[in-house]
Structure 1
């Protein structure tokens, strides 16, 4: 938008004015283009400032994450570790004492009603007689519940978080190389282009024997000499690889190294030393499962019925 406002818009507006209001288009064009460039300078400057502010927010967020310790969950010990980013104090609490909640709030502005969603975790520090709150903004209540379900499934059921994509497995596709990386970076650009090329050939692969009517019926794209033209246009407008370079830089900045106490705490334990859930938790989990499986209740409703809400 900055480039179009600063360079393309004055030319287009001057050409339109010259063709519609002046008998001599050439003279009218050169008379107005200087004025148009002057008029578009300030909007382009303001747009550039907005982009600079947004960019500085990205940089600030990456630097903040590079100083913030992630919350670590240990399923074998059934404990949660929190490290204060300022004091570097280590707090380890039992899993069954963790409190989690889903929140949403609504506000009315001059542009309409807005709603904010969040997921939070509370960790009690008995030594200092305080509670550490970790809040994470979410897009909806479903995202908040999904995050909590993923944490619970890992801690309670031991489900793997790096299991292969079931859709790829069903298609007989097994990821290798860059597709196994669990973060976005420079390699993501090549993967997106590879996927775009594959999708651009959907009008040929698998649809050769279909008539044009059947291809349209089943959602095949029309035959074009350059099926990836819009993909390349979008990449050019977003400065080609720059977003992926920012993602790569953010990944390389990483997180701070955990203290030795946390690294020792994170070492795996023999199976015979694994902590086991309490009888009360097993009973509550069974009540939630029964309510969801037999009665078709939602997770929130099942927790209320089990007295956990």
Structure 2
């Protein structure tokens, strides 16, 4: 959420209008400058990628899945605020002492300088310096947190209605409502590089485009992702929801294997807040102290980490340094700021409808999905080559 504070030089852009008129297809790869784009839809077929956890979406039910409006990342912002405060404390309090000691070591004998004089001079210098730098640095982080939270409180989330097989976008400025068929949504993954004087950084973007056929315009929606797998996994999670419904296994098999149990509803809250502090503590305890009656050999056999009684103690130390629950209180405030109330038309659109009125997937999508899934799972083809079979086999 600090993307306004740390802007990269080249923001990822949606495909150009000229390319959009060429009707991109699933599995197609296009090069736009230094950025490579892989299209996943229209025609949302099987990708073979492991979907991300459904807990990454702020709201999921039998009618719609909601993307956006989550405060995930605010705890990290609160910790960053704590780090900036500590940086100012170290610079303004400990730096004069360190420099005074250093001057005392390198100053030749017989001079009029003393440790007390140097410390007094440096303390005064850093005091005036801190008066100007501390409000700027701390204020910048606080302003970013507040402005990002207020902006999110004005942003309408994107909704995917699986019963109607439609996607709804509400413009936060004009409040205009755009509803498009699910199978006509264009989705892509972009991979590019940002080159600086220090290194080259690869960035990934998950994008969707909703076409307004009445106006002849396209509404792009972009999300920064840490990796290509995470980007495609986000789309696959949405696709699975739209095609199969709410997964029964919300926590994921890997999490059950890690903890040896299901998470509680308290732990499964899809946002960050004061409960996150307790969840992190519980995770740390279960990570280092599961099955305390097991011997070290048994723990190693079952893949548990070595028993470490300092693990939880260091966890408490870091929480003290990050001002205890302050980051989690900031996240709780961000969650309560929420998102705007959906317009009445969207609320009606989000109501459940009788099963006999549910929209059905088109024969073209059913055939294409079966073809791609068989090619990837049985013939071990990659996604791009498997999608080429759709056009070849009609």
TM-score by length of 1: 0.84
3-state DSSP of counterpart to 2:114: helix
| Larger CA deviation: 80-89 vs 163-172 | 163-172
The alpha-carbon deviation at position 210 of structure 1 amounts to 4.0
Range with greater deviation from structure 2 (57-66 or 191-200): 191-200
Which structure has the greater CA radius of gyration? 1
The correspondence for 2:100, drawn from 14, 29, 37, is: 14
Structure 2 CA distance for aligned equivalents of residues 102 and 13 of structure 1: 51
Question: Partner of 1:183 in structure 2?
Answer: 271
Q: Secondary structure of the residue that 1:92 maps to in structure 2?
A: strand
Residue 89 (structure 1) shift: 1.4
Query: Contact conserved, 2:188 with 2:207, CA < 8 A, in 1?
Result: yes
The 1:51–1:104 alpha-carbon spacing in structure 2 relative to 1, beyond 3 Å, is: farther
In the alignment, the residues of structure 1 paired with residue 150 and residue 108 of structure 2 have an alpha-carbon distance, to the nearest angstrom, of: 55
2:202 match: secondary structure: strand
In the TM superposition, residue 102 of structure 1 has moved relative to its aligned partner by 0.9
Q: Which residue of 1 aligns with 2:373?
A: 289
Partner of residue 143 from structure 1, selected from 230, 254, 269:
230
Matched, 1:242 2:326: yes
Task: Supply the distance in 1 between the matched residues of 2:333 and 2:249 (Cα, whole angstroms).
Answer: 23
Q: Work out which structure has the larger RCO, using CA pairs closer than 8 Å and 6 or more positions apart in sequence.
A: 2
Which stretch of the first structure deviates more once superposed, 164-173 or 182-191? 164-173
Q: State which drifts further: 192-201 or 78-87.
A: 192-201
Q: Is the 8 A contact 1:106 1:115 kept in 2?
A: yes
| 1:192-207 equivalence runs, <5 A | 192-199=280-287, 201=289, 205-207=292-294
1:241 Cα offset (Å): 1.5
Any idea what SS the aligned residue of 1:52 has? helix
Per the alignment, in what secondary structure is the counterpart of residue 239 of structure 1? coil
Secondary structure of 1:306's counterpart equals: helix
Alpha-carbon distance in structure 1 between the residues aligned to 2:174 and 2:198: 42
- Equivalents in 2 of 1:98, 1:78: separation in Å? 11
2:161 paired residue number: 74
- Asked if 1:264 corresponds to 2:348, the answer is yes
Q: CA deviation at 1:293?
A: 0.3
Q: 1:206 to 1:94 in 2, by over 3 A?
A: same
Give the match for residue 252 of structure 1: 336
Indicate how the Cα distance of structure 1 residues 48 and 117 shifts in structure 2: closer, same or farther if over 3 A, else same.
farther
In 2, Cα distance between the equivalents of 1:286 and 1:36?
A: 73
Q: In structure 2, how many angstroms separate the alpha carbons of the residues matched to 1:31 and 1:305? A: 81
Q: Which runs of 5+ in 2 are unaligned?
A: 1-86
Q: Distance in 2 between matches of 1:76 and 1:193?
A: 39
- The answer to whether the Cα contact below 8 Å between 2:287 and 2:305 also exists between their aligned partners in 1 is no
The corresponding residue for 2:182 is 95
Match among 251, 275, 278 for residue 362 of structure 2 = 278
Are 2:206 and 1:119 aligned?
yes
User: Residues 5-84 of structure 1 correspond to what in structure 2 (within 5 A)?
Assistant: 5-18=91-104, 28-41=114-127, 42=129, 45-46=132-133, 49-84=136-171
SS at match of 1:111: coil
**Greater helix share, 1 or 2?**
1
What root-mean-square deviation, in Å, do the aligned CA atoms of Structure 1 and Structure 2 show? 3.0
* Residue 253 of structure 2, aligned match among 166, 175, 186: 166
Separation of aligned partners in 2, 1:62 and 1:189? 20
Secondary structure of 1:183's aligned partner = coil
Residues 177, 79 of structure 1: CA spacing in aligned structure 2 closer, same or farther, 3 A cutoff? closer
Question: Aligned with 1:178: secondary structure?
Answer: coil
**Unpaired segments ≥5 residues, structure 1:** none
Query: CA contact under 8 A between 1:154 and 1:161: conserved in structure 2?
Result: no
Deviation at 1:160, TM superposition (A): 2.1
Q: Which moved more, 1:173-182 or 1:157-166?
A: 157-166
User: What is the Cα deviation at residue 222 of structure 1?
Assistant: 4.6
